[in-house]
Amino acid sequence: MIEDTAEVELLPRRKAQGYRAEDLAYRREWLKQRTGASLDIVGAHALDSQSMRGNIENPIGAAQVPLGVVGPLLVKGEHAQGSFYVPMATTEGAMLRSYERGMVVLTRSGGVQTRVIQDENRASPVFYLPDIGAAGDFIHWIRRHETKLRELADATTGHGHLLRLECAPVGRQVIVSFTYSTGDAHGMNMLCKATEAACHWIIEQTPATHYIILSGHSGEKRATGGLLAGGKGKKLIAGAVVPDQLLRHYLRTDAEEMQRFWNSTVLAHFQAASLGHNAQLANGLTALFIATGQDVANVVNSAVGIISLERTREGDLHVSVTLPSLTVATVGGGTHQGTARECLDMLDCLGTGKARKLAEITAASLLAGELSMSAALATGEFVNAHENYGRNRP
């Protein structure tokens, strides 16, 4: 369908289709001739090119992102228990130092409690109905046929399971959210396939004229208020009490100053019409996602979260992070090979049965970054810290 013409010089797919090392080399050479750019480092990768099939098209090599490690981080979850050293990939100087500082303080405070409250994922197709009355009837029909729709959806997959259906009409259109358990996978491909099976039958059986399999309503890879209500990924809470004495010793602040800091940034977030409240959730998420082979674009939904810093009646500081829509996986996608596999292995999070563990380690890691950056901002040390560790250091 996509044809080469004089004006539109396509990539040499036909000539060098495939994932062999020489296919990649051919493309690099072709690009070098057209753009003048050397692609030697791109080509000097340690990934098996054949195993890229299914993860990328038109491969030419690998991007390499500096990788470091921070810890120890003591986690007291239901799935993650013990002390972890956490891999993070980034080029933002001072960031790992910030997370490391927070992890050590949290560990010395007795560790981070975490809980997975919800673990699911969803697709939200939208159906077109002829009119308002038909839309109303359609909703009743969907509710009556939930069992049959579950059978159809579940028959397409060995891993996922349809948990529930929810209808949201907007005018004569009806959004139907199909929410699934997805095991240890991200699950979007699986649940789209399962949902499509159900949709085909809905179209046959109802006056709905057609549908769009992904309406955008689910919040996948976008920032929506609806994410806070759940349904997209894993919902976690993580928290710890940091003794006032440790705040003073390690972070040069105290519980009262941190409480005031939080109050103030909360007001600024409301003033900005922010979805949620945080210091640097996106930093930790991105660095962990790149390191562990996640679908990094999911940082957009995963970063919608809420931080609390609360001086307790005893004068210590309770810190917490709430993540309503964290997307992490330990099977599928980019998790199976290369540096991602090694990084997952470092956390003992490789393969089946490990996704909730990875989620708990992620939440606890993010809490460390929130604590550390909040302290740096509250005490006014933030800019200096970046001067010391950031780009321009001699």
Pairwise CA distance, residues 93 & 131, whole Å: 56
Q: Which stretch binds a second copy (CB under 8 A): 38-46, 141-149, 351-359?
A: 38-46
Q: Which residues of 112-138 are buried (b: 16+ CB within 10 A; e: fewer)?
A: bbbebeebbbbbbbbbbbeeeebbeeb
Binding a second copy by CB under 8 A: which of 250, 253, 316, 354?
A: 250
Q: Which of 220, 257, 295, 360 is catalytic?
A: 295
Binding a second copy by CB under 8 A: which of 38, 50, 205, 352?
A: 38
The answer to whether 339 contacts a second copy (rule: CB under 8 A) is yes
Whether 27 contacts 16, CB under 8 Å: yes
Q: Which is nearer to a second copy, 162 or 347 (CB)?
A: 347
78 in active site? no
HEC profile of 162-191: EEEEEEEEECCEEEEEEEEECCCECCHHHH
Cα 170 to chain centroid, rounded: 28
Closest distance of CB 331 from a second copy, Å: 10
Closest distance of CB 334 from a second copy, Å: 3
Pairwise CA distance, residues 300 & 291, whole Å: 17
Q: Which is nearer to a second copy, 93 or 151 (CB)?
A: 93
Closest distance of CB 385 from a second copy, Å: 10
Q: Which of 145, 186, 217, 386 is catalytic?
A: 386
Q: Which is nearer to a second copy, 152 or 306 (CB)?
A: 306
Q: Where are the alpha helices (DSSP H) in 334-389?
A: 338-346, 355-379, 382-389
Tokens coding 157:
């997959």
Q: Interaction with a second copy in 190-219: which residues (CB under 8 A)? A: 192-193, 196, 210, 212-219
The answer to whether 245 contacts a second copy (rule: CB under 8 A) is no
Dihedral sign for Cα 284, 326, 290, 292, please. positive
The answer to whether 158 contacts a second copy (rule: CB under 8 A) is no
345 in active site? no
Binding a second copy by CB under 8 A: which of 121, 182, 265, 330?
A: 265
* Burial (Cβ within 10 Å: 0-12, 13-18, ≥19) of residue 394: exposed
Q: Which stretch binds a second copy (CB under 8 A): 141-149, 164-172, 351-359?
A: 164-172
DSSP summary character for residue 221: T
Q: How many residues bind a second copy (CB under 8 A)?
A: 183
Q: Interaction with a second copy in 80-119: which residues (CB under 8 A)? A: 83, 85, 87-97, 100-101, 104, 107-108, 113-115, 117
Active-site residue list: 92, 295, 386
